[in-house]
Amino acid sequence: MSDGGPVLLPVAGRVRAAWRNGGGTTAEVIVRGDHRSPGADPGFDWRVSIATVERDGDFSPYPGVDRWLMPLSADGLRLVEEGELVPVGQHEVRAFPGERAVTSLGVTEPTLDLNLMVRRGGTTGSLCAAEVAGRAELTTAAGEELVILVLHGVVDAALDTVPGGTPPGASTRTLARHDAVYLGAGRQLTLHGVGGIAVARITMAPGDEPVAAGAI
């Protein structure tokens, strides 16, 4: 279990699960509050995942969930939201409620997209792309969690940072494309390198417990 410090979430450790409608697969990067009990809806407090869209089709409805979608593939993704065509370019972000009728359109080859889903009701989120050029410091406030995912380039992460900075001799890990790092509330993450990252921030409702993210 994590103490809130940086936790590596490698792409190699992810398991893909098929969608119910057969239109693609999803690999969870990290999930918080994974209830998986009968009647649990949506079954998590928040989740970051990478989906592979294999053909045109409807997205699964998620009542009571707010969603952010970032296409990872070069051609982006064309969506139809309640009859309106919405093109979303690579590394752009589209936010929409999980109740909305959304369909992928014009999919000619499998395309990847990054997803942040947050249970509505006191917990909020955001998703954006950012560039790393040299050294970058990411911090979380009290009641806030963060997940970064490497989009491209060469990025190293210091995985034993402490509040206030990186101690001498801190261990670093070179992150592969689509590797991710989780950071708990009130912590700091140091990155080095040149490349692009996706940054998902989740602000928790008061009283939430720390995420059980596993060991590095």
Distance separating the N- and C-terminal Cα atoms of the chain: 9
Residue 36 has pLDDT above 90, yes or no: no
User: Domains of the chain (ranges plus CATH)?
Assistant: 14-119 (2.60.120.10), 123-203 (2.60.120.10)
- Dump pLDDT digits (tens) for 92-149: 999 999 999 999 999 989 999 999 999 998 789 999 999 999 999 999 999 999 999 9
E strands of the chain, at which residues? 7-9, 16-18, 24-32, 46-53, 57-58, 65-71, 77-81, 84-88, 94-97, 102-105, 111-119, 124-139, 144-158, 172-175, 180-183, 188-203
- Dump pLDDT digits (tens) for 196-205: 999 999 997 6
Confidence at residue 207, expressed as pLDDT on a 0 to 100 scale: 54
- Dump pLDDT digits (tens) for 89-102: 999 999 999 999 99
pTM: 0.87
Mean pLDDT score, 45-58 = 93
Residue 4 has pLDDT above 80, yes or no: no
Residue 201 CA to residue 48 CA, distance in Å, equals 10
